[in-house]
Structure 1
Amino acid sequence: MAVSLAERTQQLHDERRLLEKANLDIEEGCQRIHRQEDRVRDLQAGGHDCRQAERLVELLKQTLAEWERHRTLIIERVNFLQQEVDPVPPIH
């Protein structure tokens, strides 16, 4: 069954919204990592055991990497749908 241009256009719109959210999530994830790294430094400076705080930094970085991979998939989908909606690139 063929997908209509209207359906593809809606899918493209939806994927672009997902891309915006992914970008925001990644930005916020980077900020979380920086805040947690600051906490680790504060703990170290105070002579505290910071192993769990360091472990959290690593987990946050792993999560961020997964979010970035997911964003790549969204970008690929957006590009595909854009070609479906408007197969001829605009002339500049």
Structure 2
Amino acid sequence: MAISLAERTEQLHAEQRLLVKADLDIDEGWQRIRNQEDLVRELQAGGHDSRHAERLVNLLKQTLVEWERHRTLIIQRVHFLQREVDAVPPTTN
């Protein structure tokens, strides 16, 4: 069963919304990492054990790598859907 142009267009719009959310989440993720790195420096400057805080920075960075991979998949899906939507000739009434 073929998917209608309207359904394909809605899928495209949904993926575009997901891409916007992914971009925001990634930006916020980088901000969290910067904040955590600041906290690590403060702990170190105060002579405190910073191992757990450093581990958190590494975990946050690993998570961000996965978010960026997911963003790449969303972009690929957007391009695929856009090509499908663009390939449908306009109807004339």
Q: Same fold (TM over 0.5)?
A: yes
Distance apart, 1:48 and its partner CA: 0.1
| Letter aligned with residue 35 of structure 2 | R
Distance apart, 1:79 and its partner CA: 0.1
- Partners in 1 of 2:67 and 2:22 — Cα distance? 7
Distance apart, 1:87 and its partner CA: 3.0
| TM-score, reference length from structure 2 | 0.93
- Partners in 2 of 1:87 and 1:61 — Cα distance? 39
- Partners in 1 of 2:87 and 2:68 — Cα distance? 27
Using the aligned pairs only, state the percent identity: 77
| Partner in structure 2 of residue 60 of structure 1 | 60
Q: Which runs of 4+ in 1 moved over 6 A?
A: none
**What are the ranges of 5 or more consecutive residues in structure 2 without an aligned counterpart?**
89-93
**1:48 aligns to what SS in structure 2?**
coil
The alignment of Structure 1 onto Structure 2 pairs a total of residues equal to 88
**What are the ranges of 5 or more consecutive residues in structure 1 without an aligned counterpart?**
none
RMSD (Å) for aligned C-alpha atoms: 1.0
C-alpha distance after superposition, 1:10-63 (max 9, x if no partner) = 000000000000000000000000000000000000000000000000000000
**1:86 aligns to what SS in structure 2?**
helix
| TM-score, reference length from structure 1 | 0.94
Larger Rg: 2
| Letter aligned with residue 62 of structure 2 | Q
- Partners in 1 of 2:78 and 2:68 — Cα distance? 15
